[in-house]
Amino acid sequence: MIDPITLSVIQAGLQQVCDEMDLSFSRAAFSPVIAEANDRSDGIYAAEDGALIAQGAGGLPVFVGTMQYSTRVLIERIAAGVTAAPKPGDIYIVNDPYLGGTHLMDVRFARPFYREGKIFCWLSNTGHWPDTGGAVPGGFSASATSVEQEGLRLPPVRLFKEGVLDEEIYAIICSNIRVADQRIGDVKAQAAALMVGEERLGALLDRYGDDVVRAAIAELRARAARQMRAFVAEIPEGQHSAVAWVDSDGVVDAPLSIRLAVRREGDDLVFDFAGSSPPCIGPMNSVLATTLSSVYLAMRHIFPEVPISAGAFEPLKVTGVAGTFLDAQYPRPVSGCAAEVSQRIAEVVFAALVSALPDRVTAAPAGTSGNFALGGHDPQRGRDFVMYQLSGGGYGGSAQGDGLSNGCSTIGISKAPPVEIMEQAFPVLYHHYALREGSGGAGTQRGGFGLDYMLELRRGAAVASFVMDHGRFGPQGVLGGADGAVNEVTVWRGGVAHVPPHLSKEQDIPLAPGDRVHVRTPGGGGYGPAMARDRALVAEDVRLGYYSATDAEALFGLPRGEGD
pLDDT mean over 72-99? 97
pLDDT, one tens digit per residue, over 438-464 is: 999 999 999 999 999 999 999 999 999
Choose among 438, 448, 297: nearest CA to 364: 448
pLDDT at 562 over 90: no
Listed residue (262, 286, 313, 325) closest to 72, CA to CA:
313
What pLDDT score does 559 carry? 54
Cα separation, 552 vs 244, whole angstroms: 28
Beta strands in 98-187 (DSSP E): 106-115, 118-128, 157-161, 164-165
Q: Judge whether 34 and 26 are in contact, CB under 8 Å.
A: yes
- Highest average pLDDT, of 29-33, 258-262, 405-409, comes from 258-262
pLDDT at 328 over 80: yes
User: Mapping DSSP to helix (H, G, I), strand (E, B) and coil, where does residue 206 land?
Assistant: helix
Q: Looking at the predicted structure, is the pLDDT value of residue 237 above 70?
A: yes
Per-residue pLDDT, 471? 97
Q: Which of 169, 95, 86 is nearest to 126 (CA)?
A: 95
> Greater confidence, 412 or 225?
225
In this predicted structure, the answer to whether residue 258 has a pLDDT above a threshold of 80 is yes
- pLDDT-based confidence at 63, cuts 50/70/90? confident
DSSP 403-472: PPTTBPPTT----PPPHHHHHHHSSEEEEEEEEETT-SPPSSBPPPPEEEEEEEE-SSEEEEEEE---SS
Q: Between these two residues, 1 and 171, which has the higher pLDDT value? A: 171
What gap in Å lies between CA 153 and CA 169, rounded to an integer? 13
Percent of the chain residues past pLDDT 90, beyond the cut: 92
The whole-model pTM stands at 0.95
- Share of residues in the chain with pLDDT > 70 (%): 99
The answer to whether the Cα torsion of 353, 357, 362, 363 is positive or negative is positive
Q: What does pLDDT average to over the chain?
A: 95
> Under the phi-then-psi rule, with left for phi > 0, alpha for psi from -120 to 50, and beta for the rest, what region is 323?
left
Q: What is the pLDDT of residue 558?
A: 62
pLDDT band at residue 563 under the 50/70/90 scheme: very low
pLDDT digits (tens, 9 = 90+) for 271-321: 999 999 999 999 999 999 999 999 999 999 999 999 889 999 999 999 999
For 51, residues 6+ apart whose C-beta sits below 8 A from its C-beta are 45, 68, 72, 221, 310
Q: Residue 560 pLDDT more than 60? A: no
